[in-house]
Amino acid sequence: MKIGIRKFFYGDYGEEKNSAAESTASRETINEWPLWEVFIRSKQGLDHKHAGSLHAADAAMAMENARDVYTRRNEGVSIWIVESKYIHASNPDDADALFDPANDKIYRHPSFYDLPDEVKHM
Amino acid sequence: MGTNTEEQFQQKIDQEIKIEPKDWMPQKYRHTLIRQISQHAHSEVVGMLPEGNWISRAPSLKRKVILLAKIQDEAGHGLYLYSAAETLGISRDEMYHQLHAGKAKYSSIFNYPTLTWADIGAIGWLVDGAAIMNQVPLCRTSFGPYARAMVRVCKEESFHQRQGFESLLVLSKGTEEQKRMCQDAINRWWWPCLMMFGPPDDESPNTLQSMQWKIKRFSNDELRQKFVDMIAEQVKVLGMTLPDPDLKWNEESKQYDFGEIDWAEFKQVIQGNGPCNKERIDTRRKAWNEGAWVREAAISYAAKQTKQAQEPLKFAI
């Protein structure tokens, strides 16, 4: 019988094309701690950036593990963690539709506009 | 759409465009990476065991905290790599299972024993040195998560090699007994380290395809040669020698010639008959089995906390 447990991976948007190891992913994973994504702010004034992932039973443990695993050498001053299953990612197959239209809108860039040399500070 | 062909995949690779987890990839690319990354992760984790033997026996507090920090790094490296493999669709528990069932391989080097304190220095200098030689090109490997994990690993690994060499340097300037211990460790670790690069190119079944997919960027023999050239010079600073009568500088090829590696020994160790194979796997299994109640308790506690947070307060109106 197929049990209704769905395993999520980083960047997973839940489509069927997953191949290969998918078949092996069901074994003994029921007791596996959930996966979390870790984001680190390397210093004040910068954005949090994805650093990696880890398994933890709950948010508190994920935070402690993130601190031990990803900030042993002054890599950060602040940590965000989020359970991986809450991340929604765009589908690589949609990349053309999503991102190609930007290519033919060159008028969005300042270099599109020719101005006389006399115009300063623009 | 018909765009997901193997040809187009290869074109991306040729243009140095990284492959990300949810991009289309040939089954064999996925399988090769799962195998290689999980073996690499296992090596980091099993690699902690020979060193763990010396935490309580380190000669000073300074050496002890250095060793602890190094071993903690290895655990982290294992975690980065397991995470990278997980993006390919294999679960962490499945990888552990493969290791504990004896189905997964890990670096043969960790099946050798650490007999004296000098072995810890030799591991840092030679074993981590060989690992770095393998790992630096992997920072540019074609699979994004693997490459990113390796960048992190390489940043941390250089401390490992330097502390090892420095530790041997102290021994090499010590008493006669310490010098003997230093030379003995080098003698025992040298050949197994050369084997770490894997079988020679003409017998390495996976190299060709892996090069085409830019998983690997240099062949086993190329990396081994670079390692020999590096260590043959460094050993002079220690005033020690490498246990190879055939080792000598070749003016023509501008590299060191070295003796024949005992591939029969390599095969024996890979097949499970090295000095410590059984001990290493038994230790891992014991840790896994004895930690089961902790894993279960943590999950139960987390579930209970979530449930309590969802229940309305008993005395609320």
Q: What tens digit of pLDDT does each residue of B4-43 get? A: 689 999 999 999 999 999 899 999 999 999 999 999 999 9
> B83 and A18: CB-CB below 8 Å?
no
pLDDT at A4 over 50: no
pLDDT at A3: 38
Closest residue in A to B91 (Cα–Cα): A25
Instruction: Enumerate the H helices of chain B as residue ranges.
Output: 6-14, 27-46, 48-52, 61-86, 92-100, 118-122, 128-138, 144-172, 176-195, 207-212, 220-238, 263-268, 277-290, 292-310
CB proximity under 8 Å: B 205-264 to A: none
A121 to chain B, closest Cα gap in Å: 38
What ipTM was estimated for this complex? Answer: 0.87
pLDDT at B42: 96
> Is residue A106 a part of any domain in this protein?
no
B20 to chain A, closest Cα gap in Å: 9
Q: How many CB pairs under 8 A join A and B?
A: 103
> B89 and A57: CB-CB below 8 Å?
no
B152 to chain A, closest Cα gap in Å: 9
CATH number at residue A19: 3.10.20.520
**C-alpha gyration radius of chain B:** 22
Question: Do residues B191 and B262 lie in contact, with contact meaning Cβ atoms separated by under 8 Å?
Answer: yes
pLDDT at A91: 87
Question: Do residues B198 and B119 lie in contact, with contact meaning Cβ atoms separated by under 8 Å?
Answer: no
pLDDT at A26 over 80: no
| Domains identified in chain A, total number | 1
- CA-nearest of A70, A81, A76, A79 to A43 is A76
Chain B residues lying within 8 Å of A38, measured CB to CB: none
Question: Do residues B120 and B186 lie in contact, with contact meaning Cβ atoms separated by under 8 Å?
Answer: no
HSE-CB for B131 with a 13 A CA cutoff = 29
> Is residue A87 a part of any domain in this protein?
yes
How does residue A29 score in pLDDT terms, banded at 50, 70 and 90?
low
pLDDT at A24 over 50: no
pLDDT at B164: 97
pLDDT at B223 over 60: yes
* Mutation for A interface: B70, B93, B155, B288, most A CBs within 10 A: B93
Chain A residues lying within 8 Å of B87, measured CB to CB: 9-11
CB proximity under 8 Å: B 106-135 to A: none
Chain A residues lying within 8 Å of B27, measured CB to CB: 19-20
Indicate the range of A2-16, A81-95, B264-278 predicted with least confidence.
Answer: A2-16
> Is residue A52 a part of any domain in this protein?
yes
> Is residue A120 a part of any domain in this protein?
no
> A18 and B89: CB-CB below 8 Å?
yes
pLDDT at B317: 54
pLDDT at B102 over 70: yes
Chain B residues lying within 8 Å of A89, measured CB to CB: 22
pLDDT at B278: 94
A94 to chain B, closest Cα gap in Å: 11
How does residue B316 score in pLDDT terms, banded at 50, 70 and 90?
low
pLDDT at B315 over 80: no
**CA–centroid distance for B290 within its chain:** 25
Q: A38 CB near a chain B CB, below 8 Å? A: no
- Out of A17, A24, A68, name the one closest to residue B90 (CB): A24
Helix B220-238 to helix B128-138 angle (10° resolution) is 140
> Is residue A6 a part of any domain in this protein?
no
Chain B residues lying within 8 Å of A58, measured CB to CB: 298, 301-302, 305
pLDDT at A9 over 60: no
Q: The pTM is what?
A: 0.88
> Is residue A122 a part of any domain in this protein?
no
**CA–centroid distance for A48 within its chain:** 11
| Structural domain range at position A73 | 12-91
Q: A18 CB near a chain B CB, below 8 Å? A: yes
pLDDT at B314: 66
> Is residue A4 a part of any domain in this protein?
no
pLDDT at B75: 96
pLDDT at B70: 96
Mean pLDDT of chain B: 93
pLDDT at A97 over 80: yes
B173 to chain A, closest Cα gap in Å: 31
pLDDT digits (tens, 9 = 90+) for B155-203: 999 899 999 999 999 999 999 999 999 999 999 999 999 999 998 988 8
Q: Which two tokens stand for residue B100?
A: 């504990």
Closest residue in B to A95 (Cα–Cα): B23
pLDDT at A22: 42
